[in-house]
């Protein structure tokens, strides 16, 4: 192989890597913009609306519902966090209804029950009264 051809091939190798990186970058951007929007849309449709929180000495409860025009709405989800660690705890079960109270605030109708694990211990709580904070869209 001649010296000129060898130099040309050595210069071509880094250029091939650059072209491959550029093509990969273009593919990744196109893929993300095309399919990423579809995933975001599906998540947004399935999402609940946060309506506020209650807290006691040990736990912080965040309430979520699916908005409807009904006067009484079932609780769709309750997230429980430990006040001491801030850790989100594993939910076992929950049940309850809420209704509009004032403005964007809700109140628990009768009472709501929630069971969750704090470490290995199963904890059950009965929640009553106004849900603080208000609705977040």
Domain residue ranges in the chain: 1-47, 49-136
Contacts 24+ apart (CB under 8 A), 38-42: none
Helix (H, G, I), strand (E, B) or coil at 48: coil
Q: Look at residue 39 in the predicted model and tell me its pLDDT.
A: 47
Looking at per-residue pLDDT, the higher value among 119 and 18 belongs to 119
Q: What is the mean pLDDT of residues 117-133?
A: 93
**Closest by alpha carbon to 128, among 115, 105, 111, 113?**
111
pTM of the model: 0.63
Quick one: how far is CA 112 from the chain centroid? 23
pLDDT band per the 50, 70, 90 thresholds, residue 5: low
**Residues 120, 112: Cα–Cα separation, whole Å:** 23
Name the band, by pLDDT with cuts 50, 70 and 90, for residue 2: low
**pLDDT above 70 for 104:** yes
In angstroms, rounded to a whole number, what is the distance separating the alpha carbons of residues 29 and 44?
Answer: 22
Q: In sequence order, which residues have a C-beta less than 8 Å from that of residue 94 and are 6 or more positions away? A: 75, 77, 78, 112, 113, 114, 115
- For residue 121, name the pLDDT band (cuts at 50, 70, 90): very high
């Amino acid at each position: 192989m001649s010296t000129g051809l060898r130099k040309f091939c050595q210069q071509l190798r880094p250029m091939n890597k650059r072209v491959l990186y550029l093509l990969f970058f273009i593919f990744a951007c196109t893929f993300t913009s095309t399919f990423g929007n579809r995933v975001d849309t599906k998540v947004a449709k399935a999402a609940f609306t946060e309506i506020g929180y209650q807290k006691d000495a040990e736990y912080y409860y965040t309430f979520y519902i699916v908005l409807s025009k009904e006067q009484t709405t079932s609780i769709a989800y309750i997230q429980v966090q430990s006040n001491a660690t801030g850790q989100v705890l594993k939910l076992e079960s929950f049940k309850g209804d809420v209704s509009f109270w004032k403005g964007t605030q809700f109140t628990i109708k009768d009472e709501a029950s929630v069971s969750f694990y704090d470490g290995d211990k199963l904890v059950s709580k009965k929640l009553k009264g106004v849900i603080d904070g208000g609705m977040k869209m």
